[in-house]
Structure 1
Amino acid sequence: MPFAATTPPRMITLVIFTALSTLSLNMFLPSLANMARDFEAEYALLALAFAGYLGITAVLMLILGPLSDRYGRRPVMLAALTIFIIASLVCTLAPNVWVFLAFRVLQGVVIAGWAIALAVVRDTSEPQEAARRISLITMAMSVAPLLGPMLGGVLDELFGWRASFATYTLFGVIALLLCWTDLGETNRTRSENFRQQFRNYPDLLKSAKYWDYAACMAFSNSGFYIFLAGVPLVAVVMLGLSPAMLGVCMGTITIGFTFSTFLSSRLAHRVPLVNLILAGRLSSVAGSLSCLLFFLADMGNAYTLFGPLMLIGVGNGLTMPNANAGAMSIRPDLAGSAVGLMGALAVGCGGALTALTGMLVSETSGAIPLLTLLLVITLLSLVAGIHLKWLDRRIS
């Protein structure tokens, strides 16, 4: 076939795959109110375009990872992007809310970009190098959550909400062309059939180290979801921040995350993965604990809220790339399955704790329930990190 790739992809291709999976989550969010008005539907119904997407991505990660281990990274990515393009185009032209929601959920298949990018890195790198490359990918695509809503808001203002989904379609076509021309197959240990593949699963699922990596990842991710779900209410109602100032302040956690992923990429060859993960978990605990203490001492303000919480971003940036690299190294031939299961646990845990945050935090509850929950989650991730360090010492 003309122009079909036969060599491993460049880093920029993996960054684009990963960034597209993030942009597809949040770029259209500024348009939700206009979409509800256009479809003459309840806002809560349109909110399913976000919540339903999270749910389907958790399920799809359980499926797409094993499929890429069985059939290869390239065909699964090509199929996922084709479905994403079709779903995005139908969303652009959707005549009613039900057609829109059905195909919006189908857009979730683009999460393959994240899972397969990480699996490709592990296919082509040793654990320490994989951690460095994943850190660089994570750092480069961390701007997507910031730029996505900004781009979506501008598109809505100029052309209406359907422009965001037309843009998704365009981005999907670009990614598909990149996949065809730059993503050569990297999975050289494909199983002959699913029965053979499933026989190998116990080696992965019985590994205590794998579950420690997964716990660190899930609770790190959940801390970020709790932050997104609860902090805006606290900041606006209790501290009186304007929406514009809130947006600036919330960027602090992303700044911390971007800085520490860069730091992780520089240290990956010199510092063991487990040590970087443990340092990240300690940073997150220090941030959530100091923030809670400030509010218990009646010293709560924007500085004592967002300043300490930046340490959670730092902790996540040190933890996530290294936890991904470590988990995929337990059984390199099951790298896709490993990252798929871990990603599903992270999204599922994050979704559940987001719902819990909504029940605990209200205009009358204050910040203490939110910050207490945040501390509990970061402590649980620290316990997993300490156990991982203990296992690492025992094995070595």
Structure 2
Amino acid sequence: MPDPTDTRRSTPPPHRSVLVILAAISVLPVTVHLPALPEIAAAYGTSFALVNLSIAGYAVATVTAEAVAGALSDRYGRRPVVLVSVTVFTLASLGCALAPTIGIFLAFRMSQAAIAACFSVAMVAIRETSHGGDAVRRIGFAGMGWALAPMLGTILGGTLDDLFGWRSIFFALAVIGGLVLLVSMRYMKESSTRSNGPGHDFLPALRRILASPRFWTYSLCMACSMGTLYVFLGGAPLAMDRHLDGSGVALGLYMAMVPGGFVLGSYLAGTLGTRMLRTRLLVLARTLTCSALLAGLVIAVTWDVHPLVLFASCAFVGVGNGLTTPVVNTAVMSEHEDLAGTALGLTAAISIGGGALASSLAGPALGDIDSTSGLLLLLLAPATLALVAAILAAVVDRPIARE
């Protein structure tokens, strides 16, 4: 029988710092241009709603990039996908900076989503160069960079916009992309030892993954977790407007508690990843989120409380997601190790799609939200579904939870 492995990886595995950088840059473009949206609309003489497509359209393009890149990385290797995605991102960023019309700008903005592929590839590479619970730990620490990048992105974007104008943001992204490309060419070694080759049939592989109950329980848990976050992002500004007297600064500081919670959750995942079964860690994560939201709801219904109660409760949305993400990523990759990229790409796409669906379903109710208790009640719906999915994952995964 032929050996299922080949010599694709004849060099040392990629350095972990490179994988953290790839995870961080994969989400940096999501928020970096947000402070400049009004200036972009004014520069092109168009409506804010049209410019806002740079957010919604980018999310759709990200879903596609995640799903496609995962499959391509299984077929051709992790390194080529990284180099191509970073190259496309760099050129697209330059195109955004030089775009003469809003249509061309939006086209290049969608192309920037190619960088999302780096997240899946980085997670798969961590899995392929780790053993057992160490994968959860390393993915948890990489998740800290993934969470910090959007927070720092708004600061970077706002600063560049104030000093040099909005186009400087995309010139800066092009420079960052170029530097990451040089680092990747030098240090991003191939981590895959399997060769599916050009003859690999994608559709049978897809059916094999989608037929797995284990894949669906973990993926739906992640989708509902993201849905909780998306509902919070859409509802918190509306629910807290009268409590904060319309202060954008105060709202921004309070909302930063959630990504801060994600960083804490990622750190805890990195610390506990080798000490706890991943299914127990997943149920713990979702229980923490539901318990905090329920406690906040009880307090909000009983007393007219300070906004800090809402945001302290919602910080556990971040903590729970920070714990959930590395567990889910590790689990979906471990069942089909020869299709790890495809499985993770599909999970990422389902997660983003689930978040967008939850936000859409909650949209009508969010429009009428003007209280802390109302928002917490809405948040509990997807959070509870995530807990149910986590429990089902624990049941399905029980015989193999120590992989």
Amino acid at match of 1:336: G
**Which residue is 2:304 aligned to?**
299
The answer as to whether partners of 1:127 and 1:325 remain within 8 angstroms in 2 is no
Amino acid at match of 2:273: A
Say if 2:39 is the partner of 1:31. no
**Which residue is 1:317 aligned to?**
322
Q: How does 1:94-113 map to 2 (within 5 A)?
A: 94-113=99-118
Q: Deviations over 1:285-337 (max 9, x none)?
A: 11222222233334343122111112222111111111111111011111111
The answer as to whether partners of 2:257 and 2:315 remain within 8 angstroms in 1 is yes
Secondary structure at the counterpart of residue 7 of structure 1? coil
| Structure 1 residue 364 displacement after superposition | 5.9
Amino acid at match of 1:133: R
Question: Which region of structure 1 is more displaced relative to structure 2, 279-288 or 291-300?
Answer: 291-300
Change (3 A) 1:127 1:200: farther
**Which residue is 2:171 aligned to?**
166
**Which residue is 1:342 aligned to?**
347
The answer as to whether partners of 1:357 and 1:370 remain within 8 angstroms in 2 is no
Q: Give percent identity, aligned residues only.
A: 36
**Which residue is 1:219 aligned to?**
224
Instruction: Show structure 1 runs of 5+ residues with no match.
Output: none
Change (3 A) 1:306 1:334: same
**Which residue is 2:73 aligned to?**
68
Q: C-alpha separation between the residues in 2 aligned to 1:169 and 1:330?
A: 37
Amino acid at match of 1:204: I
Q: Deviations over 1:96-120 (max 9, x none)?
A: 1010001100100000111110111
| Structure 1 residue 194 displacement after superposition | 5.1
User: Taking structure 1 as the reference length, what is the TM-score of the superposition?
Assistant: 0.94
Instruction: Show structure 2 runs of 5+ residues with no match.
Output: 1-9
**Which residue is 2:156 aligned to?**
151
Change (3 A) 1:100 1:39: same
Q: How many residues are aligned here?
A: 393
| Structure 1 residue 238 displacement after superposition | 4.2
Q: How does 1:36-55 map to 2 (within 5 A)?
A: 36-55=41-60
User: Taking structure 2 as the reference length, what is the TM-score of the superposition?
Assistant: 0.93
The answer as to whether partners of 1:237 and 1:363 remain within 8 angstroms in 2 is no
**Which residue is 1:81 aligned to?**
86
Secondary structure at the counterpart of residue 329 of structure 1? helix
Q: C-alpha separation between the residues in 1 aligned to 2:397 and 2:62?
A: 32
Q: C-alpha separation between the residues in 1 aligned to 2:377 and 2:134?
A: 37
The answer as to whether partners of 1:218 and 1:350 remain within 8 angstroms in 2 is yes
| Structure 1 residue 255 displacement after superposition | 2.2
Q: Deviations over 1:223-262 (max 9, x none)?
A: 1111111101211234536211111111112222212211
Amino acid at match of 1:104: R
Q: C-alpha separation between the residues in 1 aligned to 2:118 and 2:334?
A: 19
Say if 2:249 is the partner of 1:244. yes
- Across the aligned residues of Structure 1 and Structure 2, the Cα RMSD in angstroms comes to 1.9
Q: C-alpha separation between the residues in 2 aligned to 1:196 and 1:137?
A: 31
Q: Deviations over 1:177-206 (max 9, x none)?
A: 111101111111121335445434443222
**Which residue is 2:7 aligned to?**
none
Amino acid at match of 2:275: R
Q: C-alpha separation between the residues in 1 aligned to 2:227 and 2:212?
A: 23
